[in-house]
Amino acid sequence: MNHQPETFADQVRAIPGGEHLEMCYSCGTCVSKCLIQQKVEPEYNPRRLLRMVMMDMREEAFQSPTTWLCSACDLCYPACPQQIHISGVIGAIKQLAIEAGYESPLETVTVDESLCSGCGICVLACPYEAPHLVEKEIAGEMDRVSEVDANKCMGCGICVAACPLGAIARKGVSNEEIVRQIKVKRQKKGVPRLVTFVCDWCLRADDDVSLLESYPDNVRVIHIPCSGRIDPQMALLALRSGIDGVLVCGCAPGECHYKRGTYVSSCKITLLNRMFEQMSIGDGRVRFVQIGTQDRGRIRREVDAMLEYLAAWKEAR
């Protein structure tokens, strides 16, 4: 019997999730199912990453953006004709990379330790188990605060929305940065003003994405990394400022780029509407729509329907 030295592929296979690596026949389904290459990183390519592992290209794999950008949404897994759990394999590669001293290049969230109360909401909110509570000395006193593992954080911002104290922020999508964007130019009488929060991942078609740029100025589009980033206070602030409606667009159930963001936001907006109902405030002004990968053109229909509804609502008032 021959004893070959352990290859990179052997190491990946040995980690739970990495097992079915060699079944890949490079059909490319995962690459096109995933939106990362289209939206974020042209070099992103799970198929090639698996190939790198098979070809023992350790360093290249560790440096590949694919290793770090995969959010384990598992959109590719059910689509893979070879039934390879690709995010599991990528997770195994990432684990080896971290062990080898590599660090995630992603923009991650940061905790303001002076604000953090250590309540642990973020620990439960995170889809990736990135935050955990630690005891540490802050301004000369021992305090319990949340600490985020930067190698696990994918930057979705679900915790930012969940933190009751605003102690967590992510560059570009902090509370202040989003709230600052919630404004719509004054319109002529009868023209409704709408704020639309659009998750970065729910629109697949290029023409749907470019559509967002072409709305007239009564529709303000605010890009967010995940619909889970929305917090109901933002919707309330928008309505208080005189904006007529708020539309939040997220991914379809099972298609959320950050696993659970769409469920969290669906919960928030549904409950907010229940509150409106309980308060006998006109409902339907804050809406959540879950746009699936095949719902081409739906964003236009949803925005149009919302504007139509708001116009009628204004008229009735």
Which residues, 239 to 298, sit near other proteins by CB under 8 A? 239-240, 253-254, 259-260, 263-268, 270-272, 274-276, 278-282, 293-294, 296-297
Instruction: Please state the closest distance from residue 100 (CB atom) to other proteins, in A.
Output: 25
Angle at 57 between CA 96 and CA 128, to 5 degrees: 30
Residue 42 near other proteins by CB under 8 A: yes
Instruction: Please state the closest distance from residue 281 (CB atom) to other proteins, in A.
Output: 5
Judged by CB under 8 A, the chain residues 104 through 123 that form the site for other proteins are 115, 117-123
Cβ nearer to other proteins, comparing 101 with 279: 279
Judged by CB under 8 A, the chain residues 177 through 196 that form the site for other proteins are none
CA atoms within 13 A on the CB side of 105: 11
d(CA 154, CA 292): 21
Q: Which of 25, 172, 183, 305 binds other proteins (CB under 8 A)?
A: 25
Cβ nearer to other proteins, comparing 221 with 239: 239
Q: Which of 6, 14, 27, 138 binds other proteins (CB under 8 A)?
A: 27
Q: Which of 9, 24, 31, 96 binds other proteins (CB under 8 A)?
A: 31
Cβ nearer to other proteins, comparing 94 with 204: 204
Amino acid at 245: G
